[in-house]
Every structure is written in C-alpha cells, then in structure tokens.
Amino acid sequence: MTQIFKDLRIYGYIAVLVLSAAVLGLASYLASIFLPNLHRDFTIFSIIVPSITILVFLTTVSWSQPRVDAFFLFVLGVLWLAMGAWSVDIIGNTQCDALGDQRTQTKSGSISAKSYCYEMKVIEAFSWMLFCLLAIFLIILISRTAAAQALGRPYAWSEPVVELPWFGQYPGWPEDEAGPYGGRYAYPAGPPMAGYAGSQPMQVAGGGYVIQQNPGHSVVIQPGSNGQAPTVRQIPGVVSSA
C-alpha cells in the first residue's frame, strides 16, 4: 500500500472527527435548552448530521473501498452544505457584539443573545469548513482512483482504498493481496523459468519508460509495491491474459 496516502487519509479523518465532535457538542447544548418546542427542526438536524459523520468515519477509517468512500463523502458533503446554509438563514449577518444585554428565550427561561449568536456562528463556520474538507477529499479520491486505473488497476474502485497512489507514486500491490475476484495477482503463464532474465526496473528516457524486449520473449509489467516504480519480467514465448 502507499503509506503517504494512508497517513494523509487518517489525518483528514481526524480533522473531520474533531470538527464534527465540536458541532455535536454545541448542538447538544442547544438541544438541552431549546427542545422540544423552540428551534426544533434545526436543532435536531444539527445533531443528526455530525452524529452520522462520526459514525461513518469511525466505521470506514480502518478499511473501505474508493466507491464506498466516494458515496459517503458526497452524501455527507451535501448534508454539511445544507447545515451551513441553514445556519446562515437563522443567524444571517447578525453582529454578535451589537446584541448587548439582549436575551434569547429558552424552554426554561432565557440566555444571553450574544452567547447564542456566537455559538451559531461557530456551528456555521465549522459546517462550511467540513463541507470544504469533504469536497476536497472527494476530488482527491476520484483523482487518485482514476490514476490507479491508468496505472494498471482496472478494479481500483473496488479494491482497498489504502492502496491508492499519492501524487507521483504507483498504486500499492502487496504480494499477498488477493485480486478482485478472489484470485491472486500472478503471471498468466506462471512465474519466469529458471535460467531466464528475472525482474528489471523500467528505464526512464525522454519523459517516458523504455523497455528493451529480448527476442522471442514476452514482456510482463508488474506494478511496484509501496508506491515504487513497476518492474518488468521477460518470459520466453507468448504470454496471454487468463
């Protein structure tokens, strides 16, 4: 697997979890002072969205597929976009400092309107930030999966997401990783025969790769592991895909 992509994915997940937990904490406080009669719809929605986000990210952090991540990133991005827009609709362009000693009604009394305004501003800011992060994650995911397909991984959308390559790397291909249909990735005609040329790195020339093919041999290209360059094996005879 490509360690850089794996590490950056975890860091991104941590950032989303921290921001979601902050929004959930504020929303829970607002729910405790407003529900069930005041600001009911937004308060419930502001609890559901971060709760779903935390649940999904904790479930997929250890293992997932690009197609699964893409689906959840899109859905969660839409939810956080709605959350940010709804927050703007409620608090608008209110200047919190100008509220002074005004009070906002709660189910059992009132609280400072200035404090409520600040809390809504934080929810609004974090909602937009989470939407931007999820949109960036989705764009990177699509880009890296497309790159993996271009580098010889046609089933990249259904393979483990941690094997996607980072920019300038190749997709991971551990030797013990099973293929998309349960079989292991191997040479269609078997491993090279003893006494013949083994693996050799691809040579770079003029911005591209050059392979010196031996007469009467077939060239088999295998992507490198850990984001390294692919290797080439030359097998005598004609090799066809299984």
Q: Are residues 46 and 91 in the same domain?
A: yes
Residue 122 has pLDDT above 90, yes or no: yes
Residue 174, by phi and psi: left (phi above 0), alpha (psi -120 to 50) or beta?
beta
* Total domains in the fold of the chain: 2
Inside any domain, residue 157: no
The answer to whether residue 170 sits within a structural domain is no
Same domain, 75 and 195: no
* Any domain includes 174: no
* pLDDT above 80: residue 211: no
CB 145 within 8 A of CB 156: yes
Q: pLDDT tens across 123-178, in order?
A: 999 999 999 999 999 999 999 999 888 888 888 899 888 888 888 877 764 433 44
Beta strand extents in 62-187 (DSSP E only) = 103-106, 109-112
pLDDT band at 2 (very low <50, low <70, confident <90, very high): low
DSSP class of residue 159 equals S
Kindly state whether residues 21 and 126 are assigned to the same domain.
Answer: yes
Which residues neighbour 38 within 8 Å (Cβ) at sequence distance 6 or greater?
A: 105, 106, 107
pLDDT confidence of residue 91? 87
Helix (H, G, I), strand (E, B) or coil at 86: helix
Instruction: Note down the domain range covering 213.
Output: 186-242
pTM of the model: 0.69
Residues 6+ apart with CB under 8 A from 67: 157, 158
Please confirm whether the linkage preceding 36 is cis (ω < 30° from 0): yes
Whether 171 is covered by a domain: the verdict is: no
Q: Where are the beta strands (DSSP E) in the chain?
A: 103-106, 109-112, 199-201, 203-205, 208-210, 217-222, 231-236
Regarding whether 143 and 58 lie in a shared domain, the answer is: yes
pLDDT of residue 28: 94
In a domain, 79, yes or no: yes
Q: In the predicted model, what is the mean pLDDT of the chain? A: 80
**Within this chain, do residues 218 and 127 fall inside the same structural domain, yes or no?**
no
> Do residues 9 and 116 both lie within one domain?
yes
pLDDT, one tens digit per residue, over 4-51 is 888 889 999 999 999 999 999 999 999 998 888 888 899 999 999 999
Q: Does residue 123 sit in the same domain as residue 228?
A: no
